[in-house]
Amino acid sequence: MCGIIGCNGVEAAVPVLINGLERMEYRGYDSSGIAVLSQGKIITEKKKGRVAALVKRLEQSTNLDAQIGIGHTRWATHGKPSDENAHPHQSGKFTLVHNGIIENHAELKEQYLKLTKTKSDTDTEIAVHLLNRFYSDNCLEAIAHTVRLLKGSFALAVICEDEPDRLFCVRQASPLVVGIGDGTFAASDTSAISEKIHTLYRMNDGEIAVLSKDSIEFFDFGLNKITKTPDEFEKNSYTADKGNCEHFMLKEIYEQPEAIRKTVDAYLNENVFDLQLKIEKPERFYIVACGSAYHTGLVGRQVFERLTKIPVSVETASEFRYSRPLVNGNTPVIIISQSGETADSLAALREAKKRGAKTVSIVNVKESSIASESDFVLLTKAGPEIAVATTKAYGAQLAALYLLGIYFAEAFGTADKNELEKMKKALTELHKTVSAALGCEELIKEIAQRLKDIDRAYFIGRGLGFAAAAEGSLKLKEISYIHCEAYAAGEMKHGTISLIEKGTTVVAMNTQKELTHKLQSNIDEVRSRGARVIAVTSAESKIDADETITVPEVHPLFAVSTQIVPVQLLSYHIARLRGCDIDKPRNLAKSVTVE
């Protein structure tokens, strides 16, 4: 999941490219590079490390005065992060950048490039050598010939010394948008160029775009001309500032209440749903997602089943897409994705549609692929989320699932009307309880001091508490690199308790008031074997643990929304004390657009 940027016909290409890379660095940040075409020659600068390292290198470069260029920020798939493996890659008169995976790169090398010496360990380099191999005097034809041979996922931006006035873009299973403003632009993510354009086109799979200085033509891979209508988009004012927070993650934890409030306000008026969401009472719901979004699905299942009495299957998208899912026209599929570009989730959406299912997506990016391909979109209102570890978008996804659960219960008449009214009232107040939960931060800082050197932790919970434990475990591990596991509390004694020894850290999430005493037994079981237990509970559910963090009472079905807050803060402060790169953790990227 890399970031691609391109521009043509601008006054100065380098600052446009760098600005675009800085806005997309969260997509991948192990190396970056740019290539500009000036006086008939392509000049390339690329560097391992963050975009800042590239900017430093560019300070020593000269003759970079150009109006056309491409750029790339990388999340390594083939070939370790290094200067040589960084994009752009060059062959003959061509230079290109790529996001995705060319799955048949080895076969293509064997078949067409046996004698070609490669400079990198990347799959991408094969593509640029093929361009050079098939090129005689027409770039577009060489590009079409090449992309018809590629298998896998590839968003490409290509420049050629023989055609200095044209920038070529290709989209196949990796996101790419193009636009027109003062010049023409291409990017993996609308937010990177939205302030520079007045017209946006989201490219579809199988399309080639040819960007001249002030216009764009579209073709399919057979070079048949395509007419596209512009897509709507929002000029999001990209706030690169962290406010008075040290990291985006902390800023976004504190933005979580507002993200929830805006999402609830946008959809509590059920007319919005009535107008657009026509779903008959199904035999089963499917909720499909990855990572933290999958963890919200675990909450969604319990909310939906409680309110609609309809069974719900929750699946990770990478498993769902290859499991021959028993999906049909009577099993709506709900795809949850902050970015709306996660490759596995997009593929799962397409698989569900192929099998005749109605699809509903809960996304945070309006112009995303998942939003555009779903039958119905519930747009969370979290705003741009920059930290790789999701917090406010996760909180908004939970609110969206509560809204959908209430909507379906009303539509199908499966829940007590008074109960639903109480839930709606609680939903309009939820942002206040989440905001109040932030009040535990000083206590969290003290606990983090005691936990900063641990090498592992276990998160346990019952019912919704397990869903909270799963998210807490992911939060801590992905930003602090501490090994964490989440367990249904009742499961610990079936094996994992063998790992508990003196001083082992266990975090217990007590979301189910009616199961408090059961969870207390599980806490006592691990404490009697030496564990140090930190419990998160609400004011009315007393728990005996080594440390207890109490959050405000909230509707039982919404407990995860408040209990996750101390765990997000604990993960943040432990990672901060460990000196970790909190907003851009190693090996991760914000939008996972490869399988």
Q: Which residues are catalytic?
A: 2, 590
Per residue, the 3-state secondary structure of 404-423, as one string, reads HHHHHHHHHCCCCHHHHHHH
* Closer of 395 and 465 to ligand AGP (Cβ): 395
Based on C-alpha coordinates, what's the Rg of the chain?
25
Question: Do residues 68 and 28 lie in contact, with contact meaning Cβ atoms separated by under 8 Å?
Answer: no
Per residue, the 3-state secondary structure of 344-407, as one string, reads HHHHHHHHHHHCCCCEEEEECCCCCHHHHHCCEEEECCCCCCCCCCCCHHHHHHHHHHHHHHHH
Per DSSP bridges, beta strands 216-220 and 285-289 are unpaired
* Closer of 32 and 292 to ligand AGP (Cβ): 292
* Closer of 4 and 293 to ligand AGP (Cβ): 293
Nearest distance from C-beta of residue 513 to ligand AGP, angstroms: 28
Distance between CA atoms of residues 358 and 353, nearest Å: 7
- State the residues that interact with ligand AGP by CB under 6 A: 290-293, 337-339, 342, 345, 388-390, 478, 591-592
At 32, give phi and psi (nearest 5°).
-155, 165
Distance between CA atoms of residues 198 and 181, nearest Å: 5
- Residue 522 has which token pair? 């599980």
Which residue has its beta carbon closest to ligand AGP?
A: 291
* Closer of 154 and 572 to ligand AGP (Cβ): 572
* Closer of 120 and 236 to ligand AGP (Cβ): 236
Q: Which residues of 78-106 are buried (b: 16+ CB within 10 A; e: fewer)?
A: ebeebebbbbbbbbebbbbbbbbbbeebe
Nearest distance from C-beta of residue 46 to ligand AGP, angstroms: 26
* Closer of 26 and 94 to ligand AGP (Cβ): 26
Nearest distance from C-beta of residue 256 to ligand AGP, angstroms: 13
Nearest distance from C-beta of residue 358 to ligand AGP, angstroms: 20
Nearest distance from C-beta of residue 592 to ligand AGP, angstroms: 5
Count of CB atoms within 10 A of residue 384's CB?
18
At 114, give phi and psi (nearest 5°).
-55, -40
Question: Do residues 295 and 322 lie in contact, with contact meaning Cβ atoms separated by under 8 Å?
Answer: no
Nearest distance from C-beta of residue 371 to ligand AGP, angstroms: 12
Per DSSP bridges, beta strands 376-379 and 359-363 are parallel
* Closer of 393 and 543 to ligand AGP (Cβ): 393
What pairs with residue 536 in β-bridges? 509, 549
Q: Is 503 left (phi over 0), alpha (psi -120 to 50) or beta?
A: left
* Closer of 85 and 374 to ligand AGP (Cβ): 374
* Closer of 368 and 433 to ligand AGP (Cβ): 368
Nearest distance from C-beta of residue 345 to ligand AGP, angstroms: 5
In Å, the largest CA–CA distance within the chain is 77
Distance between CA atoms of residues 479 and 489, nearest Å: 24
Task: Name the H helices within 135-247.
Answer: 139-149
Q: Would you give the distance in Å from CA 554 to the centre of its chain?
A: 28
Task: Give the contacts of 228 (CB within 8 A, at least 6 positions apart).
Answer: 201, 218
Nearest distance from C-beta of residue 282 to ligand AGP, angstroms: 23
Alpha carbon distances (Å) from 258 to 236, 262, 396, 428: 17, 6, 9, 11
Distance between CA atoms of residues 266 and 246, nearest Å: 30
Nearest distance from C-beta of residue 479 to ligand AGP, angstroms: 8
